[in-house]
Amino acid sequence: MSVQTDAEKRKQISVRGIVAVENVTEVKKAFNRHVHYTLVKDRNVATPRDYYFALAHTVKDHLVSRWIRTQQYYYENDPKRVYYLSLEYYMGRSLQNTMINLGIQGTVDEALYQLGLDIEELEELEEDAGLGNGGLGRLAACFLDSMATLGLAAYGYGIRYEYGIFAQKIENGEQQEEPDDWLRFGNPWEKARPEFMLPVNFYGSVVDTPDGKKWIDTQVVFAMPYDNPIPGYNNNVVNTLRLWSAKSPIDFNLKFFNSGDYIQAVLDRNVAENISRVLYPNDNFFEGKELRLRQEYFMCAATLQDIIRRYKASKFGCRDAVRTSFEHLPEKVAIQLNDTHPALAIPEFLRILVDIEKVPYEQAWDLVVKCCAYTNHTVLPEALERWPCSMLENVLPRHMQLIYHINFLHLQEVQKRWPGDMDRLRRMSLIEEEGEKRVNMANLSIVGSHAVNGVAAIHSEILKATIFRDFFEMWPDKFQNKTNGITPRRWLLLCNPGLSDLICDKIGEDWIVHLEKLKELKRWAKDPAFQRAVMKVKQENKLKLAALIERDTGVKINPASMFDVQVKRIHEYKRQLLNILHVITLYNRIKRDPSASFTPRTVMIGGKAAPGYFIAKQIIALACAVGNTVNNDPDVGDKLKLIFLENYRVTLAERIIPASDLSEQISTAGTEASGTGNMKFMLNGALTIGTMDGANVEMAEEAGEENFFIFGMRVDDVEALKQRGYNAYEYYERNPELRQCVEQIRSGFFSTGEPGKFAHVADVLLHHDRFLHLADYDAYVEAQQKVADVYQDQTKWAEMVIENIASSGKFSSDRTITEYAREIWGVEPTWDKLPAPHETA
């Protein structure tokens, strides 16, 4: 089968017309100029990396003029600005996304082709910007793309980690972590802005003065901003992601100079600069380390100074008069907290207004609440941030005072509503008194925000009914739902050019910014020619992924088999173990009767485990061990394979998702807040096997349950089972197939030479399983049999695939951001273009 290259497909999709010869010539000239003058200088030979940087700078040339014009437009028109605060941005690569959004991909492809260079080889040299752990960080990246595409005056703020999420290496079947030195060759997309460097204070003490409270004797660290351009799709808007890097002040530890220890004084500068050194690699887990607290405050303090500076300096385009009154702040500033990680923005904002700007306390608090809004991303208790009061008192003494005061006034309000209800006061307090005193950051975020949202309908209902019930009863109007979404630019147009082209041929190009238009494809769901075309694209994507896997692992997989994929962070609640139990079940069935008819299946599991999460690392080791057994058994052949995909990241997701047939979304009902990988698979024509959890519920609603493989307990069933008392042995004793699987894990069947290696995993399943794997095992295996049966009927499968693609329009982050804009931030999206740099406004 001849497979078009991605470059050929991209040329088709991104241009859909003639590439102007003069534009190609201009790009070639700019590229050569960058190679000769920017990079090579004294060297005679350019390396492939030189060519990549020349290409990045050539593309950036097209960005910068639009970037300057966009920021100038905001300055002159002074719209309400949206500030998205997140400790994580999982951006991936920028080159191809930038070319697509600027509409120059075809031109650049052609220019490099004429220069004898392979653009795909150069794209492979770009490092992923892995400044996030998983869903929360990737969501922030999708939101930035949508905010720019919808013409919002929006700014992302975060930390420029020197080391992003670790690179995962699988050695001897186990995860090893390697530091992600993503900046070692430089980052062509960022622009350092030393002129906006700001001081951030830590430690010290608070004194009373005639002028109010004063925070003194602090240690100062400077925050150096690095700006990253965020282009909207085809609208000439370029917004900014500003990432802060920690810099030591010049006089850091000056006292050493007096004692003559100059060298030590210079070396100790590292202590301050460690703040932005590394991303904490935990997903859905709170580890109360002081460095992490300092990171959170560092980002909030620098960002709020920037927000207030910009508010004061902008007044209807006038460059001299600055705003001196804060009464209009909520009309000009919206701050969104991405989980509780930036929750210190609330007391910091209050501190700036009260202590520095001398705004009366009641007015200051009113302004804070009107500006701030909070998104909750999890109900897992181990993920909720609870900082020890002793640590806060040491690191941020003034903030601790303010939190106590906020709590005092808040509890007075609660007392007024529910006199004498001491238990409610305890539950709603910002300070947890049991054991070590702690600040509950979720409670602080709710009290300090005018809007609180969950990230899928079911998640938002669970918040109101369980962990935030008391707050919902007090402020029902604060609580909203904003179901997550994904950007169709990266997650269809960029990663799946073949499918994008097919869709454009049928319904035009409007879907790229109006994803709901995909529903027009429904009329071709039963059309044999369209079914064949869609499945042909899927097959081409599968062939490419199979070649990649064979190159990287040496395992040859059957491209005609069903590609059954579960890629996400490794966590007990996501139940990769349930998937592995199913693989073992299939393996045992083949071994019992190798001649029985069987739907060939390649199961792929990928994802990183937090370095300190022992059971998650065991799950990876078990997946590798089971794969080793299955993949080398001659009785099995190419009927079944289990592959663990090493170092799952954004760039690998862009390869895997378009090639997948089956998407595994199998978390215990009530644990996955939303999920966004589920949406990416749906958009790219994979069918979903899943529980009624997170956004799966709304996806099944959109596509129709007949086009989904739903199984397992619902949220109510899970609660009822927990109330009754979950006994894993009931299920273990009742089902011989399940019992065999657990015993094989326990006995060392998959770990020859190390018989007890996975005994702990079996022990967790039988004795300490919060996520009820065995209770859903029967329903899961039954649903998987249904999947296998339907896959045999490729006409029916293709129809379901098209129905899913056509039903995925709701899950665009453009829809999500439109809802945030109108219902939380008080701004209106626009689909109008800004004038291009060469046009007059």
For 279-312, the pLDDT digits (tens) are 999 988 889 899 999 999 999 999 999 999 999 9
Dihedral sign, Cα of residue 772, residue 775, residue 779, residue 782: positive
| 592 pLDDT more than 80 | yes
The mean per-residue pLDDT over the stretch 418-429 comes to 98
Which stretch of 122-131, 265-274, 348-357 has the lowest confidence by average pLDDT?
265-274
| 353 pLDDT more than 90 | yes
Dihedral sign, Cα of residue 203, residue 204, residue 205, residue 209: negative
Confidence at residue 475, expressed as pLDDT on a 0 to 100 scale:
98
Confidence at residue 582, expressed as pLDDT on a 0 to 100 scale:
98
Catalytic residue among 574, 582, 641, 810: 574
Residue 269 is a catalytic residue: no
Residue 377 is a catalytic residue: yes
Catalytic residue among 69, 680, 746, 757: 680
Confidence at residue 717, expressed as pLDDT on a 0 to 100 scale:
98
| 2 pLDDT more than 50 | no
Residue 193 is a catalytic residue: no
Torsion of CA 257, 260, 264, 266, to 10 degrees: 40
Catalytic residue among 399, 569, 601, 810: 569
Catalytic residue among 378, 676, 688, 816: 676
Helix 759-767 and helix 614-631, axial crossing angle in degrees, nearest 10: 120
Helix 105-114 and helix 21-33, axial crossing angle in degrees, nearest 10: 70
Find the helix or strand (DSSP H, E) in which 240 lies: strand 238-247
Confidence at residue 38, expressed as pLDDT on a 0 to 100 scale:
72
The mean per-residue pLDDT over the stretch 344-363 comes to 98
| Average pLDDT score, the chain | 94
Catalytic residue among 138, 398, 544, 568: 568
Confidence at residue 469, expressed as pLDDT on a 0 to 100 scale:
98
Report yes or no: 102 and 59 within 8 Å, Cβ to Cβ.
Answer: yes
User: 777-816 pLDDT, tens per residue?
Assistant: 999 999 999 999 999 999 999 999 999 999 999 999 999 9
| 132 pLDDT more than 60 | yes
The mean per-residue pLDDT over the stretch 185-201 comes to 97
The reply to whether 81-92+128-165+190-380+448-484 and 497-811 are identical in fold is yes
User: 488-502 pLDDT, tens per residue?
Assistant: 999 999 999 999 999
| 260 pLDDT more than 70 | no
Q: From residue 366, how far is each of 82, 217, 259, 336, 355 by CA, in Å?
A: 18, 30, 49, 16, 15
**Residue 13 pLDDT level (bands cut at 50, 70, 90):** very low
Q: What length does the chain have? A: 841
Q: Where are the domains of the chain?
A: 15-77+94-126, 81-92+128-165+190-380+448-484, 497-811
Residue 568 is a catalytic residue: yes
Residue 574 is a catalytic residue: yes
The mean per-residue pLDDT over the stretch 319-335 comes to 86
For domain 81-92+128-165+190-380+448-484, the CATH superfamily is Glycogen Phosphorylase B; (3.40.50.2000)
Catalytic residue among 60, 93, 377, 438: 377
User: What kind of fold does domain 497-811 have according to CATH?
Assistant: Rossmann fold (3.40.50)
Residue 639 is a catalytic residue: no
Confidence at residue 3, expressed as pLDDT on a 0 to 100 scale:
47
User: 524-538 pLDDT, tens per residue?
Assistant: 999 999 999 999 999
Confidence at residue 16, expressed as pLDDT on a 0 to 100 scale:
39
**Residue 321 pLDDT level (bands cut at 50, 70, 90):** low
The mean per-residue pLDDT over the stretch 444-461 comes to 98
Torsion of CA 128, 134, 135, 140, to 10 degrees: -50
What residues contact 401, with CB distance under 8 A and at least 6 apart? Answer: 206, 213
